[in-house]
Structure 1
Amino acid sequence: MLQKPKTNESMSQKFLITVLSVSTTTFLLGGLASYWVGRQLSPPVASQETTAAPAAKRGGPQAQLVRVGSIHRETITPVRTLVGDLIAVRRATIATEVAGKIVELPVDEGSNVIAGKTRLARVDDTWTKLEEDKIATQIAEQKATLEFERTDLRRYEDMLKHNAVSLSEAEQKRSLIEGLEAALEQHKVMLREAHERDSRLDIFAPFNGSVVAKLAEVGEYLTIGSPIVEIVSNGRIDARIMVPEESLALVRVGDSLDLLIDSLGIELKGEVASINSQGSVGSRTFPVRIAMDDQDGTLLPGMGVSAFVPIKRESTELLVPRDAVLRKPDESTIWILQQKDAAPADAVAASNAKPIAAPNWTAHPIPVRVVSHTRDSYAIAAVRKVDRPRLEPGVQVVTEGLERLVPGSRVKVDLDTSELAAVPGTYRTGQQKSDRDQ
């Protein structure tokens, strides 16, 4: 009776152990099977990396299209740009020399005038004509009186021979005749004066030019000296610039200077006409006038002009195109081209080398100092000593598209030399404008 319960308890323990063993084995076999299936379905890690590499390559940045110039060494005369104004050689306010009412004023502001031919105004001649007639009548009357007195004098002289009149009476007659002759000459002068006033009723231009101000109107009564119009000369026009005292020694009367009319983009040469010896104490500058042709009236007084004035004697410098320099208040920068994966020392090309038009170039910024400049180039020097070997004649520098570059950018050189045209929403280089820029 006591052995039977023990047998049942032992069998229960064996059954429980068996169930746990089977469950554990089944769990382990399921895990192994899942791992094997996963390995069969997933690609190798190396294949994933190989596949990802081309994808990353396809998604990488594209080469930027740029235009380039080159560094070269040249002997130059450094210049500085001075801003001035165009001024007329001659300016005059034309006034009337005769009092009267204006009956004609055929010119207006902007009218071209020719010296001695273009009538600026005409004054009413009514009172002048009446004055001429009045004086002419007085002269005729005085001539008749004088003729009578001369005849009477001859009679007095005959009577004096016979002692019919006294000598004093004859002298009084001679004095009277002399007074009449003097009065006659005076009236003749008055008549010539009237004729001269009459000739000046028509007011003509004193020199070739154009009307810049109209100071009277038809119907106005003007006194002597009243202004009518203001005119300025044409043909020659002068640029007036203020030259600093340190550059004044390099400018001489007769020198030829390059000029740029800012608003019109006209480039021309002018000749130094005069240097004013009275300078400005505050700015230490001296007025210099540069004569030039007004290009058939295209250049007008008041326009802005830039003059390129030498600042020192000739010197040999490293030059780059002006468009290659990004100028900022703190420092200036140029972008040089290096072949991709090439050492910096290999970036120096031969002076006659040409850039390869394939996208195997990278652009790198170089801080530089602008030493001086000419009209088309900047003379530069490296700011850092380590950059000096990289700035040599023949090195290619970016001139178009440098605003879009970041250090190490891959670039493609555009060999097209035609001028870039600006399109709406972009800069001339093609860079897209931001909302802030627009």
Structure 2
Amino acid sequence: MRSIVLFAGLMLLSPCVCAEQGPLLVQKAKKEITLTGYTRSNTMLSVSSEVSGKVLRVNYDVGQIVGEAPFFEIDPTFIDFQIRSTRQSLKRVGVTQKKLESRVAYLNREFVRIDKLHKGDRATEVKRDAAEDEWKQAQFELDALALEQNILKTTLKELRERKHRHSIFAPKDWTVVAKNAEAGEVIGLNTRLARVADYRTLIVPLSVSGEELAAIQKLPRDFDVTLEGETIQASLNWVNPEFNEKTRKLSIELLLHHTGTARGGLRFSLPLETEAEGFLVPKAAVISRYDNPRVTIKSTGESVNVTVLGESGEYFAIAEDGQLRLRTELKPK
């Protein structure tokens, strides 16, 4: 009787794998990795000069945020002279135009008067034709003057636009990362004067394998990453489809949703779980006797020898075997 009670107690303490666990399935082996990188600005561009001349003023230095004022101001003395000269020419043309309009009006009246006399046989046809020709020639001169006026107006617009380009602007709220000119220097056309970067948005460029990219694409649209020890949100910005045959990787860019320190070189990390070679089988299904591990397929009762490569939690990592398939249900040991 004592032996029967002890046996019953042992039965109650033993875990029932079938009742406490779900199906014991063969799964794809996985490995945990961490992608690391460093932040940089979302966009960077060069600030260049479209005109030549002497730099009068530089309003920003390296590390400063660009505001409303122009970055560089170029001496506009010579362009101002051209603008003033063109304006004077326009005034002169305007005065001449008024004189010609008055003359055309007079010659028109004169032609009308002589034409009436000619119709009454009191003026010769020669005199009438001369009056008409003089009136038409004056009208041609007026038309030519109007054309010259339009050309001068276009020239003035061009000069004003060129003067506007003597004030060289950079995008507002961007950060100056390099400056190549100082006040007093004489610069030439298309000279690269500075570089500015948009640190309002930080990105992280990475080179990843196909498996790593697939793992990232399985994440939510916005996923957690670590930036200098702080957990923030990030998203996949773009994937370059071109494959690098040397590194056997793809280039991608992650966009960080970050409101803290905005600069390059912040350390970034992203833990991922990617697929690996081999299978994972539950430890509860592996029978290991005499260093000969094996599993039993539940549906057929077939026993399959396995090669254990490692372990992870409640699973053994095994080499792939032709007798086992993904999602094969195994019998508890």
TM-score (norm 2): 0.64
Structure 2 unpaired stretches of 5+: 1-26, 115-127, 283-308, 319-333
Alignment of 1:305 with 2:268, yes or no, is yes
Distance (Å, rounded) in 1 between the aligned partners of 2:195 and 2:311: 47
Shift of 1:84: 3.0
Distance (Å, rounded) in 1 between the aligned partners of 2:38 and 2:314: 28
Match of 2:325 in 1: none
Letter aligned with residue 259 of structure 1: V
Alignment of 1:127 with 2:95, yes or no, is no
Letter aligned with residue 270 of structure 2: A
8 Å contact kept, 1:80–1:310:
yes
8 Å contact kept, 1:86–1:300:
yes
Distance (Å, rounded) in 2 between the aligned partners of 1:107 and 1:92: 16
Distance (Å, rounded) in 1 between the aligned partners of 2:273 and 2:84: 68
Match of 2:243 in 1: 279
Match for 1:204 among 164, 169, 173? 169
Shift of 1:370: 6.7
Alignment of 1:222 with 2:187, yes or no, is yes
Change (3 A) 1:175 1:80: farther
Structure 1 unpaired stretches of 5+: 1-74, 319-367, 372-377, 384-438
Shift of 1:79: 4.3
Distance (Å, rounded) in 1 between the aligned partners of 2:52 and 2:179: 18
**What percentage of residue pairs aligned between the two structures are identical?**
19
Change (3 A) 1:317 1:236: farther
Distance (Å, rounded) in 1 between the aligned partners of 2:166 and 2:109: 52
8 Å contact kept, 1:83–1:307:
yes
Match of 1:106 in 2: 59
Alignment of 1:176 with 2:127, yes or no, is no
Q: Please tell me whether Structure 1 or Structure 2 has the larger radius of gyration of its CA atoms.
A: 1
Equivalent residues in 2 for 1:68-79, closer than 5 Å: 79=32
Distance (Å, rounded) in 2 between the aligned partners of 1:219 and 1:379: 73
Equivalent residues in 2 for 1:219-368, closer than 5 Å: 219-252=184-217, 255-261=221-227, 264-296=228-260, 298-312=261-275
- The alignment covers a number of residue pairs equal to 249
8 Å contact kept, 2:232–2:257:
no
RMSD between aligned residues: 3.3
Shift of 1:278: 1.8
Runs of 4 or more consecutive aligned structure 1 residues displaced over 4 Å after TM superposition: 75-79, 315-318, 378-383
Distance (Å, rounded) in 2 between the aligned partners of 1:278 and 1:265: 32
Distance (Å, rounded) in 1 between the aligned partners of 2:314 and 2:142: 91
Distance (Å, rounded) in 1 between the aligned partners of 2:42 and 2:70: 22
